[in-house]
């Protein structure tokens, strides 16, 4: 994870000191604590000046300071990981490898084919010296954050940054996430002459001809242009060049007799036997194993190649005992099926003597007295209706409502501990650090104001606030373990695996059931197609800013290009069956995979949204809609920045 930043000026050279004193610089430093550099490029005769700033979090290969510059004065800032498509040797740094390829590109189309071929998350800024061009963009899913800001002020006409702590002046334009809808080029020479920022857009396009017309329409350009100030324009590249989408298109095939897939939803309780039935079909069993294979490779790529045992003061003979060692990999862990699968697969590839940190966050529940009257019904409303019919879950509810020993025994804590038991049974020789992260209202308020608000922006809903805060505390990894009695524990793992993307692809959310009931399989397929296309703007930029703030890097195995391609290639009926109850029907193929990998109870746990599972959604205000603008984020932002700037 790195923090990258770029400022374009049409008047004077941007003043490094101004930038370095600001709160944004502080945020960028938190993302990339390993090295910090700036570079200024002033082209006086053409009238443009650029400032490049790079903060690096060192993860593999030799530390490569950023910005990097080649012998032709091309300048490159890279916040990404090459997991495939280009060869990066174990001891190489991907920043260097990328710049090397870029330097040898002689045309636009070569640059585009380079970014089409890279697999993995990225956001980049590239200055092509001879052409006086600036290129920038985010990967197809938008797994790395990049924000832009335009201003009529010639001194800071255009800025790009991984994260911004600046709240715009009243009449200023807002910071926005750079759309992950392609990459962009600015011809600096032309723009300097006209004092006008013109963006050339190269969209993503599917390789298959059928999809071309569908994806590229004037609408996209207009939509983008509408969100920008008047003095900025966006045009589709005249050459018609585009990037090739790195994943296979979604299989939209529907069953021939869709009557069979009638939308009556069974309300029985999910059991592992239901998975057995699914697996008894030879074809399906084969698909399940193909999925396991793809996911296993995706996890492997994300947990190997980390600096291990590189401490030169230690020789092999004095290697520390397993329980004293530090984990290199942590997992955002609720004990639900997604995080359980990641844990099992990570266990296959991480050296046995290295612990794995399971980060489990809980927000303090109000005690029963404070919750009088309506409290009980509230919890009931928030839990899935299907689980209410099940006696075990009613029992859980009773625990939640009253007989609690600790106000932190939230649903995700309970399933997390149960998940830990399953993992210990699967691999008793591994040290599993189950990190109990207990957060009080006071701490939530304090950290939201000091850190989280600026990271969430420009997103601003109640849901963004809940998830942003929950993920921030979880990935910070400060809590307690119970391996030898309750002890304070801080996770030092720089890589954080998250299950993001599983629900979007495999119909995990309740809105999928709503859609299916109303519009059948066709509606469901349409919904799933739409979900992946908006995951960048809904989730991933935000999560990257949040997790990166701890100098850690989020990695998303369910969004690996090969995993997505495999799932996209399957017809809907091989992946999910929403006529089956919750706990089976959604993410059906994933549940079958979990069962094949030896998981038991967790394989049939119904999906529970994070904000409810960790109880953050109940802590402050019960009467808000997830999509409402969050007042706690708004009122704090100006105040917060005022404080940071005074420091
Ligand atoms: C990695 O970065 C270092 C430092 O910038 C550089 O010396 C080295 O050649 C790079 N490795 C590769 C393979 O590019
Ligand atoms: C954290 O919460 C758990 C309940 O889930 C409780 O058992 C534990 O004692 C708490 N730890 C601290 C330090 O509050
Ligand atoms: C979509 O699924 C159907 C049914 O399995 C299959 O016949 C077809 O080849 C798939 N299409 C693609 C593009 O993968």
Share of the chain above pLDDT 70, in %: 84
Protein residues with CB under 6 Å of any ligand 1 atom? 61-62, 64, 92-93, 96-97
CA distance linking residue 127 with residue 75, whole number of Å = 5
Task: Tell whether the model's pLDDT for residue 201 goes beyond 90.
Answer: yes
Closest ligand to the CA of 62: 1
Task: Find the range with the poorest average confidence among 226-235, 429-438, 489-498.
Answer: 226-235
pLDDT at site 390? 44
pLDDT at site 170? 61
60 vs 32, residue with greater confidence: 32
Distance of CA 498 to the CA centre of its chain: 8
For residue 284, report the distance from its CA to the centre of ligand 3, in Å.
14
pLDDT at site 379? 40
Are 325 and 464 in contact by the 8 Å Cβ rule? The answer is no
* Atom in ligand 3 nearest the alpha carbon of residue 568: 14
CA distance linking residue 479 with residue 467, whole number of Å = 19
209 vs 492, residue with greater confidence: 492
For residue 251, report the distance from its CA to the centre of ligand 3, in Å.
6
pLDDT at site 228? 84
CA distance linking residue 568 with residue 294, whole number of Å = 13
For residue 572, report the distance from its CA to the centre of ligand 3, in Å.
10
From residue 374, alpha-carbon distances to 169, 379, 455, 466, 611 in Å are: 42, 9, 34, 22, 20
Q: Tokens for 337, please give them.
A: 């099926």
Task: Tell whether the model's pLDDT for residue 68 goes beyond 90.
Answer: yes
Closest ligand to the CA of 434: 2
Are 176 and 33 in contact by the 8 Å Cβ rule? The answer is no
Are 71 and 49 in contact by the 8 Å Cβ rule? The answer is no
Three-state DSSP at 138 gives: strand
At 29, the pLDDT band (50, 70, 90 cuts) reads confident
pLDDT at site 218? 62
Task: Tell whether the model's pLDDT for residue 492 goes beyond 70.
Answer: yes
Share of the chain above pLDDT 90, in %: 58
Which of 486, 489, 490, 615 maximizes ligand 2 atoms within 8 Å of its Cβ, making it the mutation to test the pocket? Answer: 486
If one looks up domain 2-244 in CATH, what number appears? 3.60.20.10
* Residue of 277, 208, 193 whose CA lies nearest to 244: 208
CA distance linking residue 159 with residue 176, whole number of Å = 11
Are 267 and 581 in contact by the 8 Å Cβ rule? The answer is yes
Closest ligand to the CA of 248: 3
484 vs 40, residue with greater confidence: 40
Looking at the chain, the domain(s) classified CATH 3.40.50.620 span 267-307+323-646
Three-state DSSP at 277 gives: helix
pLDDT digits (tens, 9 = 90+) for 99-109: 999 999 999 99
Q: Which residues of 613-635 are buried (b: 16+ CB within 10 A; e: fewer)?
A: bbbbbbbbeeebeeeeebebbee
pLDDT at site 207? 80
Looking at the chain, the domain(s) classified CATH 3.60.20.10 span 2-244
For residue 408, report the distance from its CA to the centre of ligand 2, in Å.
6
For tokens 């793992």, name the residue. 493
From residue 98, alpha-carbon distances to 6, 64, 87 in Å are: 18, 12, 10
138 vs 157, residue with greater confidence: 138
User: Measuring from atom 13 of ligand 2, which residue has the nearest CA?
Assistant: 480
Three-state DSSP at 293 gives: helix
CA distance linking residue 603 with residue 592, whole number of Å = 8
* pLDDT mean over 278-287: 92
Give the mean pLDDT of the chain. 85
Q: What is the dihedral of CA 544, 550, 553, 555, to 10 degrees?
A: -60
For residue 65, report the distance from its CA to the centre of ligand 1, in Å.
9
Regarding the beta carbon of 249 and ligand 3, being less than 6 Å apart is answered no
CA distance linking residue 37 with residue 599, whole number of Å = 47
User: Measuring from atom 2 of ligand 2, which residue has the nearest CA?
Assistant: 408
Cβ-based neighbours of 244, under 8 Å, separated by 6 or more: 113, 116, 204, 205, 206, 207
Task: Tell whether the model's pLDDT for residue 505 goes beyond 50.
Answer: yes
Task: Find the range with the poorest average confidence among 218-222, 307-311, 398-402.
Answer: 398-402
Q: What angle do CA 499, 503, 507 make, to 5 degrees?
A: 160
At 453, the pLDDT band (50, 70, 90 cuts) reads very high
Closest ligand to the CA of 480: 2
For residue 252, report the distance from its CA to the centre of ligand 3, in Å.
8
Of the candidates 2, 50, 191, 630, the residue annotated as catalytic is 2
pLDDT at site 264? 52
Orientation of helix 541-548 relative to helix 462-476, angle to 10°? 40
* pLDDT mean over 158-183: 83
637 vs 58, residue with greater confidence: 58
Protein residues with CB under 6 Å of any ligand 2 atom? 362, 406, 408-409, 413, 436, 438, 480, 486
Three-state DSSP at 244 gives: strand
For residue 69, report the distance from its CA to the centre of ligand 3, in Å.
46
Task: Find the range with the poorest average confidence among 258-267, 281-290, 433-442, 537-546.
Answer: 258-267
**Residue 2 annotated as catalytic:** yes
At 147, the pLDDT band (50, 70, 90 cuts) reads very high
The CATH architecture to which 267-307+323-646 belongs is 3-Layer(aba) Sandwich (3.40)
* Residue of 419, 415, 413 whose CA lies nearest to 436: 413
* Residue of 286, 257, 271, 359 whose CA lies nearest to 591: 271
Task: Tell whether the model's pLDDT for residue 216 goes beyond 90.
Answer: no
Which residues is 629 bridged to in the sheet?
461
* pLDDT mean over 196-220: 72
pLDDT at site 537? 86
Closest ligand to the CA of 573: 3
Relative to beta strand 197-205, strand 243-244 is: parallel
The kind and range of the H/E element at 282 are: helix 282-303
Closest ligand to the CA of 437: 2
Distance of CA 348 to the CA centre of its chain: 23
Regarding the beta carbon of 22 and ligand 3, being less than 6 Å apart is answered no
* pLDDT mean over 560-567: 97
Q: Tokens for 288, please give them.
A: 């399940």
User: Measuring from atom 12 of ligand 2, which residue has the nearest CA?
Assistant: 438
Regarding the beta carbon of 251 and ligand 3, being less than 6 Å apart is answered yes
Reported in sequence order, the residue ranges of 379-526 that DSSP labels E, i.e. its strands, are 432-439, 478-481, 487-490, 495-497
Distance of CA 465 to the CA centre of its chain: 15
CA distance linking residue 447 with residue 445, whole number of Å = 6
> Burial, 77: exposed, middle or buried (Cβ in 10 Å; 0-12, 13-18, 19+)?
buried
pLDDT digits (tens, 9 = 90+) for 632-643: 887 544 444 433
User: Measuring from atom 2 of ligand 1, which residue has the nearest CA?
Assistant: 64
At 405, the pLDDT band (50, 70, 90 cuts) reads confident
* Residue of 41, 40, 47, 45 whose CA lies nearest to 191: 47
Supply the pTM of this predicted model: 0.89
* pLDDT mean over 122-150: 96
* Residue of 123, 185, 173, 179 whose CA lies nearest to 149: 173
Task: Tell whether the model's pLDDT for residue 244 goes beyond 90.
Answer: yes
Regarding the beta carbon of 520 and ligand 3, being less than 6 Å apart is answered no
* Atom in ligand 2 nearest the alpha carbon of residue 438: 1
Which of 359, 480, 613 maximizes ligand 2 atoms within 8 Å of its Cβ, making it the mutation to test the pocket? Answer: 480
For residue 275, report the distance from its CA to the centre of ligand 1, in Å.
49
* Atom in ligand 1 nearest the alpha carbon of residue 91: 13
Report DSSP state, residue 144: S
For residue 39, report the distance from its CA to the centre of ligand 1, in Å.
19
Regarding the beta carbon of 571 and ligand 3, being less than 6 Å apart is answered yes
Which residues is 124 bridged to in the sheet?
78, 137
pLDDT digits (tens, 9 = 90+) for 319-371: 555 556 899 999 999 999 999 999 999 999 999 999 999 999 999 987 655 44
For residue 303, report the distance from its CA to the centre of ligand 1, in Å.
22
Cβ-based neighbours of 32, under 8 Å, separated by 6 or more: 1, 2, 3, 54, 55, 56, 57, 551
What does R_g of the chain's alpha carbons equal in angstroms?
25
Which of 417, 436, 442, 483 maximizes ligand 2 atoms within 8 Å of its Cβ, making it the mutation to test the pocket? Answer: 436
* Atom in ligand 3 nearest the alpha carbon of residue 571: 2
* pLDDT mean over 389-416: 67
Task: Find the range with the poorest average confidence among 163-167, 251-255, 305-309.
Answer: 305-309
From residue 319, alpha-carbon distances to 265, 353, 490, 536 in Å are: 55, 10, 21, 42
């Amino acid at each position: 994870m790195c923090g990258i930043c770029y400022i374009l000026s049409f008047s004077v050279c941007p003043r490094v000191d101004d930038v370095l004193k600001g709160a944004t610089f502080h945020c960028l430093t938190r993302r990339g604590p390993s090295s910090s550099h700036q570079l200024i490029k002033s082209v006086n005769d053409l009238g443009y000046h650029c400032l490049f700033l790079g903060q690096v979090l060192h993860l593999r290969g030799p530390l490569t300071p950023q910005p990097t510059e080649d012998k032709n004065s091309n300048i490159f800032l890279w916040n990404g990981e090459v997991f495939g498509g280009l060869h990066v040797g174990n001891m190489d740094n991907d920043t260097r490898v990328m710049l090397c390829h870029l330097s040898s590109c002689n045309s636009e189309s070569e640059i585009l084919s380079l970014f089409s071929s890279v697999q993995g998350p990225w956001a980049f800024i590239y200055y092509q010296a001879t052409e006086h061009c600036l290129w920038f963009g985010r990967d197809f899913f938008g797994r790395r954050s990049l924000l832009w800001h335009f201003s009529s002020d010639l001194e800071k006409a255009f800025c790009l940054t991984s994260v911004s702590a600046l709240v715009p002046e009243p009449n200023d334009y807002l910071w926005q996430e750079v759309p992950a809808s392609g990459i962009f080029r600015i011809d600096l020479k032309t723009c300097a002459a006209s004092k006008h920022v013109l963006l050339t857009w190269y969209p993503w396009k599917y390789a298959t001809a059928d999809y071309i017309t569908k994806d590229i329409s004037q609408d996209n350009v207009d939509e983008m242009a509408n969100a920008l100030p008047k003095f900025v324009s966006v045009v589709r590249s005249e050459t018609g060049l585009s990037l090739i989408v790195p994943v296979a298109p979604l299989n939209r095939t529907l069953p021939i007799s869709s009557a069979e897939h009638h939308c009556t939803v069974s309300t029985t309780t999910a059991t592992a036997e239901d998975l057995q039935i699914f697996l008894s079909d030879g074809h399906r069993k084969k698909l399940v194993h193909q999925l396991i294979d793809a996911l296993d490779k995706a996890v492997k790529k994300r947990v190997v190649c980390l600096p291990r045992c590189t401490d030169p003061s230690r020789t092999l003979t004095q290697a520390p005992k397993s329980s004293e060692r530090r984990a290199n990999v942590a997992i955002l862990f609720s004990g639900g099926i997604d995080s359980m699968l990641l844990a099992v697969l990570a266990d296959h590839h991480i050296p046995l003597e290295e612990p794995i940190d399971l980060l489990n966050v809980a927000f303090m529940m109000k005690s029963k007295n404070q919750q009088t009257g309506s409290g009980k019904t509230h919890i009931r409303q928030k839990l899935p209706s299907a689980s209410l019919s099940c006696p075990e879950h009613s029992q859980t509810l009773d625990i939640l409502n009253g007989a609690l020993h600790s106000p932190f025994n939230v649903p995700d804590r309970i399933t997390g501990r149960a998940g830990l038991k399953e993992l210990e049974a699967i691999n008793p020789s591994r040290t599993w650090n189950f990190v109990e992260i207990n957060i009080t209202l006071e701490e939530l308020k304090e950290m939201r104001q000091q850190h989280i608000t600026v990271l969430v922006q420009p997103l601003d809903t109640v849901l963004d606030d809940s998830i942003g805060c929950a993920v921030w505390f979880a990935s910070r990894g400060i809590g307690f373990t119970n391996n030898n009695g309750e002890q304070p524990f801080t996770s030092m793992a720089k890589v954080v695996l998250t299950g993001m993307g599983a629900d979007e692809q495999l119909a995990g959310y309740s809105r999928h059931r709503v859609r299916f009931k109303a519009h059948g399989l066709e509606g469901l397929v349409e919904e799933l197609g739409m979900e992946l296309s908006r995951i960048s703007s809904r989730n991933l930029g935000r999560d990257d800013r949040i997790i990166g703030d701890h100098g850690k890097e989020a990695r998303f195995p369910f969004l690996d290009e090969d995993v997505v391609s495999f799932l996209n290639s399957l017809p809907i009926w091989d992946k999910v069956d929403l006529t089956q109850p919750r706990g089976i029907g959604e993410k059906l193929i994933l549940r079958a995979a979990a069962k094949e990998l030896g998981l038991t109870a967790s394989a049939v746990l119904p999906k529970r949204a994070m904000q409810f599972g960790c109880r953050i959604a109940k802590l402050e205000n019960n009467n808000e809609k997830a999509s409402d603008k969050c007042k706690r984020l708004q009122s704090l932002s100006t105040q917060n920045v005022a404080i940071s700037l005074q420091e």
